[in-house]
Amino acid sequence: MSNGTATPNGASGQNPMTNRREFSADAARSRQSQPYMIGRVASVSVSTVTGVICPNEIEGAAEAGQQLQVGALVRMRTLASHAFGLVTGLRVEQDVSGPIVTERRVCDIRLVGEIPDIVANDGPPSFQRGVSIYPGLGAEIFTTTARELGFVYARPHASNVKIGTIHQDRTLPAFVLTDEMLGKHFAVLGTTGSGKSCSVALILRCVLEKHPAGHTLLLDPHNEYSRAFGDQAEVVSPTNLEFPYWLLNFEEIKSIMVSRREDSAEAEAGILKEAIVEAKRRFLEESADVQHITVDTPTPYRLGEVMKLIDQTRGELENPENSTPYLRLMNRIEALRADRRLDFMFSGHVVRDNMAEILSQLLRIPVRGKPITILDISGLPAEIVDVVVSVLCRMIFDFAMWSDRADGQPVLLVCEEAHRYAPQDESLGFGPTKQAISRIAKEGRKYGVSLCLVSQRPSELSTSILSQCNTLFALRMSNERDHEYVRNALPDSAHGLIAALPSLRTQEAIAVGEGVTVPMRLRFDDLAEQFRPMSGTANFSTAWQEDEQDESFIEKVIDRWRRQLR
């Protein structure tokens, strides 16, 4: 069978067969849309092709060869299809074996997909991910036309949303596959100022506008996103958050109440555990069976009852000198109850079982026109933030796990500054938080829990957790350590695009993985001013022109500071 090598106008030299069509037979007439042969295949491996650029063989190809760039999409003819690949490298090789030094220009190509000659139901050409038939040695390498790019980056048949435009042709929209992106986790990585927060807001807005009955919880550590979703969002902050202490498991409550002194921590933990279990049983003993109650069962109990039990046990000691751990626990609990910053967790003397109300608010079940909850944790005390995040992540997973599979509602957890909660360094962060996020990353897809990791320091993020994200959006990065880390996280087909990370413009990203049909460099769409996260850099040149503030400005700030008002 002939290879059907294309001629300069894009027509094939192979006679068409029934139900077969040459992809380039309908090439555009204008010079800009005409494909040019820029080289020939010199070697072929399982996933890569090496080509020798030979721009002098065909008129007009010299200019095309000179404009060939890393990240460009090229086309090669096979026996029964057209294979497409991304240019991942360009170099000049010298041959010094002969009397005259000769040079040849070489391009490295990573195969990404193909368009078969056979088209079902006489429909339009359909791009398929992966290559089943490889180009042969000497096969011609062509530039791609706008029409060909349109087929490669066409709107997928599965559920999808548009988030931007393709770098090679800004008239072509960039789509992501909704189910593939959410169902298998995704990450947005980029340095400060690269447009990371706006990209996250845009992706979520696009998804929720098309799926208004979504269930999304976004952890906002810097109070950036409160205005990004308008009336679509339920904004929760320490001022209106109700998060009772009894939702914490023992590991979490121990980190707050037990001292870190090695000589007494173990004793205090034992005392606290016994008191909490008994307090839970006493709270429920009149209305329910208490045999199943453990220290980790999420059921209400009274702190006053815990203190009463601790004090009662202390009074039964034969040696009063052993009462120190009891006194420390009681003092610590009293301090927590008196701390106004922790009113959302320890306030009130009336204890009620409002777990259903809390989950309903956080997970948006029912949605009631607000498919996303933005939890502003910027006002939480530093010593309690990790515990709150741990409880939330754990509750989301447990809720999904104990839901009936037939009636379960998929939930998306968006974790901003993910490196804080799931660090690579085992000595950093709060262990239970990392364990909860890791559990979602590894098992969440089984129960309909999706994870979005957002980080400006990818090299500090847990490798094992990031590796579970099957779709990555990598924005501009200038740190070499971050480059290497992201390179290891990306599939082989995208390694050639990594070189572009330092030179990406704001709003540009490399998108790879299950959520996109083919690795691509894209530009995210613009967000309307009123929906942009409040993460912009301060405008010093304008703010420092005139002195518009007086002493009252400082007094107002101090008052808000003391009252913990944002």
CATH numbers and ranges of domains, the chain: 23-152 (no CATH), 173-242+354-536+544-559 (3.40.50.300), 246-345 (no CATH)
pLDDT given for residue 16 in this prediction: 37
Task: Average the pLDDT over 400-406 and give the result.
Answer: 85
Helical packing angle, 324-338 and 303-315, nearest 10°: 160
Q: Model's pTM, two decimal places? A: 0.84
Q: For 173-321, where are the E strands, in sequence order?
A: 173-177, 186-189, 216-220, 233-236
By the 8 A CB rule, do 486 and 188 touch? no
By the 8 A CB rule, do 163 and 524 touch? yes
CB atoms near residue 337 (< 10 Å): 18
- In 3D space, the residue among 49, 120, 127, 80 whose CA is nearest the CA of residue 518 turns out to be 127
pLDDT given for residue 4 in this prediction: 39
CA atoms within 13 A of residue 204's CA, in its CB half-sphere: 37
pLDDT band at 518 (very low <50, low <70, confident <90, very high): confident
Report how far residue 456's alpha carbon sits from residue 451's, in angstroms, rounded to the nearest whole number: 17
- In 3D space, the residue among 110, 112, 109, 149 whose CA is nearest the CA of residue 128 turns out to be 112
pLDDT tens, 222-237? Answer: 999 988 999 999 999 8
- Compute the mean pLDDT over every residue in the chain, rounded to the nearest whole number: 84
Q: For 377-461, where are the E strands, in sequence order?
A: 411-415, 449-455
Structure token digits, residue 71: 């990240």
pLDDT given for residue 503 in this prediction: 81
pLDDT given for residue 64 in this prediction: 56
Helix (H, G, I), strand (E, B) or coil at 484: helix
Task: Average the pLDDT over 403-427 and give the result.
Answer: 89
11, 66, 67, 328 from 62: Cα distances, Å: 20, 6, 9, 81
Helix (H, G, I), strand (E, B) or coil at 364: coil
Residue 285, pLDDT > 80, answer no
Provide the greatest CA pair distance for the chain.
101
- In 3D space, the residue among 492, 480, 437 whose CA is nearest the CA of residue 461 turns out to be 437
- Range picked from 54-68, 114-128, 304-318 for highest mean pLDDT: 304-318
CA atoms within 13 A of residue 147's CA, in its CB half-sphere: 15
Task: Average the pLDDT over 112-138 and give the result.
Answer: 83
Q: Any idea which of 63-77, 403-417, 482-496 has the lowest mean pLDDT?
A: 482-496
pLDDT band at 68 (very low <50, low <70, confident <90, very high): confident
Q: Any idea which of 63-77, 432-446, 485-499, 540-554 has the lowest mean pLDDT?
A: 485-499
pLDDT given for residue 565 in this prediction: 59
Structure token digits, residue 260: 């870190």
What does the H/E/C string look like for 159-177? CEEEEEEECCCCCCEEEEE
Q: What b-and-e string marks burial along 51-73, b requiring 16 or more CB atoms within 10 Å of the CB?
A: bbbbbeebeebbebbeebebbbb
Residue 103, pLDDT > 70, answer yes
pLDDT tens, 137-192? Answer: 999 999 998 889 999 999 998 999 999 999 888 899 999 999 999 999 999 999 88
By the 8 A CB rule, do 492 and 453 touch? no
DSSP 257-281: HS---TTTHHHHHHHHHHHHHHHHH
- In 3D space, the residue among 85, 181, 45, 146 whose CA is nearest the CA of residue 518 turns out to be 85
Report how far residue 512's alpha carbon sits from residue 518's, in angstroms, rounded to the nearest whole number: 7
Residues 418, 421, 424: CA angle, nearest 5 degrees: 85
Residue 548, pLDDT > 80, answer no
Report how far residue 217's alpha carbon sits from residue 414's, in angstroms, rounded to the nearest whole number: 6
Residue 59, pLDDT > 60, answer no
Report how far residue 200's alpha carbon sits from residue 509's, in angstroms, rounded to the nearest whole number: 12
pLDDT given for residue 114 in this prediction: 93
- Provide CB contacts within 8 A for 368, sequence distance 6+: none
By the 8 A CB rule, do 424 and 460 touch? yes
pLDDT higher at 11 or 406: 406
Residue 66, pLDDT > 60, answer no
pLDDT given for residue 240 in this prediction: 87
Report how far residue 478's alpha carbon sits from residue 182's, in angstroms, rounded to the nearest whole number: 28
Report how far residue 207's alpha carbon sits from residue 90's, in angstroms, rounded to the nearest whole number: 37
pLDDT given for residue 6 in this prediction: 38
Task: Average the pLDDT over 127-134 and give the result.
Answer: 90
Report how far residue 65's alpha carbon sits from residue 142's, in angstroms, rounded to the nearest whole number: 10
